[in-house]
Amino acid sequence: MTEHVNRVYDVIDQQHSHESAATRRQLVAGAAVTLGGMGLLSLPSIASATNKSGVNDPQTILNVAATAEVLATIVNTVGGEQVPLDRVTRRNIRAAAREELIHYNVLVSPGFGGKPLTKKIWVPDAVFSSRKDLLETLVVGDQIFINAYLIATTTFGDAGKGTLARYAAEFMGAEAVHRALARQSLGRLGNDRVFMKYDQVEEANGPGKGMPGFTNVLVAVDQLKAAGFGFGVPGSKAGRFYEFDVVSQRTPDPRNVNTRTVR
């Protein structure tokens, strides 16, 4: 057990100090199951890495964000094609696919300068194996993106880049909607947040419960790798490669998707 994971368990214990000891043990046990199931117990930096190494510089954040949007465009596009979904859920996922693609295009534009680490993504077969698996992947993935964009908002703001900070907040808001709709399609409360979750342990019942947040943007990549995704190389779970330049050519473009530019 790493020092960082122990810290996660300590935080859970502190946040639920008003509960009985038995209840706290159940919460810690639930977190252990979630962390272990996603392979996160093996990652020493997962819990709440600090920025002592300076990795949260604006360029690194833009590069990680562009890479995340490559992955999200692929998962939402292919998921909307291959997975049996009800009409409303399919419409939402198809819209999310276009929104993620627009995010990518903005991030790599000259005004931003993001550079994806790769556009060749290994996606576990399990992601597209059922409606439940796709939606649970989206819930956890969108929360990772929310956390990363909140890091971006803080970093850009601290650097005096107010416009970029606002842009990051706008991206984060869209990812929060995606998470909420995926939870709702799973039959769970979508409108379940008073504030967007940053580096706290996930306390919402459902996918990702007990999963730690982070303050180091590179941990977003670590968490996605732990879930089986690969960035230019095969991931840790059975799957296949998807090429962004191929998939994005068939990404849906619903006419009702609006507010397509940042100002």
User: What's the pLDDT tens digit per position in 121-177?
Assistant: 999 999 999 999 999 999 999 999 999 999 999 999 999 999 999 999 999 999 999
Looking at residue 21, what is its pLDDT?
63
pTM score, two decimals? 0.81
What distance in Å separates the CA atoms of residue 89 and residue 84, rounded to the nearest whole number? 10
Looking at residue 25, what is its pLDDT?
55
Looking at residue 42, what is its pLDDT?
36
| CATH architecture of the domain covering 54-250 | Up-down Bundle (1.20)
pLDDT at 91 over 60: yes
Looking at residue 47, what is its pLDDT?
37
For the chain, the structural domain boundaries read 54-250
The 3-state DSSP class for residue 43 equals coil
- What would the mean pLDDT of 237-255 be, rounded to a whole number? 98
CA 94, chain centre distance (Å): 17
Looking at residue 41, what is its pLDDT?
39
Mean of pLDDT over the chain: 87
The radius of gyration of the chain's CA atoms, rounded to the nearest angstrom, is 18
Looking at residue 206, what is its pLDDT?
96
pLDDT band at 55 (very low <50, low <70, confident <90, very high): confident
Cβ(117)–Cβ(229) below 8 Å: no
